[in-house]
Amino acid sequence: MNSVDLLLLSIATPLAVALVIALGLPKRFSIKLAYLGFGVPALISLYLWSQYSVAPQLDGYAFRSTYDTGLRSLGIQLSLGLNGISLPLFAMAGIVGLAAGLYAIQSGAERLKIYLMLLLVMQGGLMGVFASIDVFFFYFFHELALIPTFIMVGIWGGRDRSYAAMKMTIYLTVGAMLSLIGLIALYVNSPAQSFDLIELRRVLAVNPHPLSALAQNHLFALLMFGFGILVSLWPLHTWAPLGYGAAPSSAAMLHAGVLKKFGLYGLIQIALPLLPEGASHWSWALAMLALGNVVVVGIVTMAQRDLKQMVGYSSVMHMGYAFLGLASLSAIGVNGVVLMMVAHGYSAALLFLLSTSVYHRTQTFDMSEMGGLAMKAPVLAALFVAATFASIGLPGFANFWGELAIFVAVWKFSPWVALGAVAGIVISAIYGLRAAARVFFGPATEEFSKTAEKTPVIDLRWSERFPALVLLAALFFVGFWPKSISTALDATVKSVFHVSPAAAPSSVAQK
């Protein structure tokens, strides 16, 4: 089997395993197959990442393959491939999916077979999102991954799960519909005869641009707000912290860590290069909304006393950095956004995993009822502090490079906006370090002492440590070797945006 077929295999394997489990396979065999369903996409993504630099490319994509779906007359084909933008996100989806799957397998959740089946469907959809070149299947795989999220929140969720599932369903359905209308309108208003992204770029690259400035403004607005809702753009973000707080951990890891990047990825691959005048028109509005994520949501995060809610709000806050990078309309900003997306995927997933591990030892998410946990669970404490440092953007972690590139781009866009963005570092340091101090250090609270008397507190088991270490290793790897992403990313960004005003001459420095 060659590298081209591996892309399809990474999508088909988790979906096939989910189908086999659904057909009534016994629980012990379902769990064994689940290891395969989560492990194969991760291994394939790492292998393709390692081979990308030497793989032949066609129209800027490596590992190109096209499969007939019987819808060719409608301009729809399953076209797969990876470029420098999708490659690191595809690998991130595989790695986070592996960690989430391993954590789910050992979770002991009720109806574990169904739980794993839904996670596997979600995993297959996630791999398809970042491997698709055809815009139709890009959207289709997102919907395939999104539906299990609602089910898992409603069935396996925690407090307020019914309300959270309903709110997520309403918001994300509206966001998905706006995005779909924007994508269809873009196709209808272009001379292209195909949903293929490469063909759309080729047709819309002509001079003069076939879409008028007014049309671009309207189309970009549809995509910006549609994708923005899916990414939790302020003030349309309230579904996210509520949903993540109620979601079972593995579902939160996959959604906050990976699926939420769908909107940003769509803006980078589709909206910015194809609608440059629309992007320019909406750049300041997007920047102001993004500052709402950073400052307003950041202040709300500081007020949280529930650990998982704090992690959920933190995830929403950091999406503001990504939107600021897009609003800067520069190549270095786009580079920074992709780096930020990858880093946030690893760090957010790690924080959700560790927050649930804290709950299993304290029987509460209320940080005011915790304290002194580091004495009984030093490995858990060390991993949580490391994940907090990564989220803040400490040098040595992947998040640092994404934030640095975004700050440079935003400073060129507007020094005043950059100052507001930098304030987010202080805010995230306050709530992150305060949470670590309350949970792990200082004297144990009376409530925690009573809980520890009833159930002795033990440190992380290896079934919990391994998925956490996988995510932490990814953060360190990219943090110490950002060139593993930035080389291919920089080349693709220069190529994709070469006809757009968003293509400023600056780009991420080769680290």
pLDDT by position in tens, the chain (length 511): 555 588 889 999 999 999 988 887 777 788 888 899 999 999 999 999 988 888 888 778 888 888 876 666 665 678 888 988 999 999 999 999 999 999 988 887 788 888 899 999 999 999 999 999 888 888 899 889 988 888 888 888 777 778 888 888 888 889 889 988 988 888 777 777 777 788 777 777 665 567 777 888 888 999 999 999 998 898 888 888 888 888 888 888 998 889 889 989 989 988 888 888 888 889 899 999 999 999 999 999 988 888 888 998 998 999 999 999 999 888 888 999 999 999 999 999 999 999 988 888 888 888 888 878 888 888 999 999 999 999 988 888 999 999 999 999 999 888 988 888 888 889 989 998 888 888 888 777 766 666 666 667 788 888 888 999 999 999 999 999 998 888 888 888 888 775 333 334 344 333 3
Which 3-state string (H, E, C) describes 117-141? Answer: HHHHHHHHHHHHHHHECEHHHHHHH
Q: How many Cβ atoms sit within 10 Å of the Cβ of residue 477?
A: 15
Q: Could you give the CA distance from residue 18 to residue 6 in angstroms, rounded to a whole number? A: 19
Q: Could you give the CA distance from residue 108 to residue 508 in angstroms, rounded to a whole number? A: 44
Edge-to-edge strand list for the sheet holding 78-82 = 57-58, 61-67, 78-82
What is the pTM (predicted TM-score) of this model?
0.89
Conformation bin of residue 209: beta by default, left when phi > 0, alpha when psi is -120 to 50: beta
> Which residue type does 182 have?
G
Q: Could you give the CA distance from residue 397 to residue 402 in angstroms, rounded to a whole number? A: 10
